[in-house]
C-alpha cells in the first residue's frame, strides 16, 4: 500500500465549476501538507501548503487537512482553463530531511 493515495483522474469539468481534489495518507507523522501544480512538461510548483490540521484559503483555492481521518483536500472555485494541469499532493514530517512524499497526481482538464 502506498503511503499517499491520490485518484489519478483524469478529471474533466466545465469552466466555472468547483473542483475537489483529494488525497489520503497512512503515516500519522506527517505534519506539513502541500499541493503542487504541474503543467505539462514542466516541473511542479508549490500552490498551497497547510501545517497540521485546518483550512487555508488563497484566492480561488482552499486547502483542507483532516488529520483525524488522514485526508487532505484542495478546492478550486470558479475553475478556469488555465487551471488545467496535474495536481500533486505532498507531505512531510516535521523534522529530519523533510523530503516530500508525493501522491501520484490528479490530471485536471477545465473545458472552456
Partner 1 sequence: NAGVTQTPKFRVLKTGQSMTLLCAQDMNHEYMYWYRQDPGMGLRLIHYSVGEGTTAKGEVPDGYNVSRLKKQNFLLGLESAAPSQTSVYFCASREWGAKSSYEQYFGPGTRLTVT
Q: Find all residues with CB under 8 Å of 63, minimum gap 6, and list them.
A: 33, 35, 48, 49, 50, 55, 56, 57, 72, 73, 74, 75
Q: Return the residue of 8, 16, 54, 81 that touches partner 1, per CB under 8 A.
A: 8
DSSP secondary structure, 35-57, as one string: EEEE-TTS--EEEEEEESSEEEE
Q: Which stretch binds partner 1 (CB under 8 A): 12-20, 61-69, 72-80, 99-107?
A: 99-107
Cβ proximity to partner 1, 8 vs 16, nearer residue: 8
Nearer to partner 1, 10 or 16 (CB): 10
- With beta carbons less than 8 A apart as the criterion, state whether 46 and 34 touch: yes
- Which residues within the stretch 13-72 sit at the binding site for partner 1 (CB under 8 A)? 32, 34, 41-46, 49, 51
Where do contacts with partner 1 occur on this chain (CB under 8 A)?
4, 6, 8, 32, 34, 41-46, 49, 51, 88, 92, 97-100, 102-105
Amino acid at each position: 500500500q502506498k503511503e499517499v493515495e491520490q485518484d489519478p483522474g483524469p478529471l474533466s469539468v466545465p469552466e466555472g465549476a468547483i473542483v475537489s481534489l483529494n488525497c489520503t495518507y497512512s503515516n500519522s507523522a506527517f505534519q506539513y501538507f502541500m499541493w503542487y501544480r504541474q503543467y505539462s512538461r514542466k516541473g511542479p510548483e508549490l500552490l498551497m501548503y497547510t501545517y497540521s490540521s485546518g483550512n487555508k484559503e488563497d484566492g480561488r483555492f482552499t486547502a483542507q487537512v483532516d488529520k483525524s481521518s488522514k485526508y487532505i483536500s484542495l478546492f478550486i472555485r470558479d475553475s478556469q482553463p488555465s487551471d488545467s494541469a496535474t495536481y500533486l499532493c505532498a507531505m512531510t514530517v516535521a523534522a529530519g530531511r523533510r523530503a516530500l512524499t508525493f501522491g501520484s497526481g490528479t490530471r485536471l482538464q477545465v473545458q472552456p
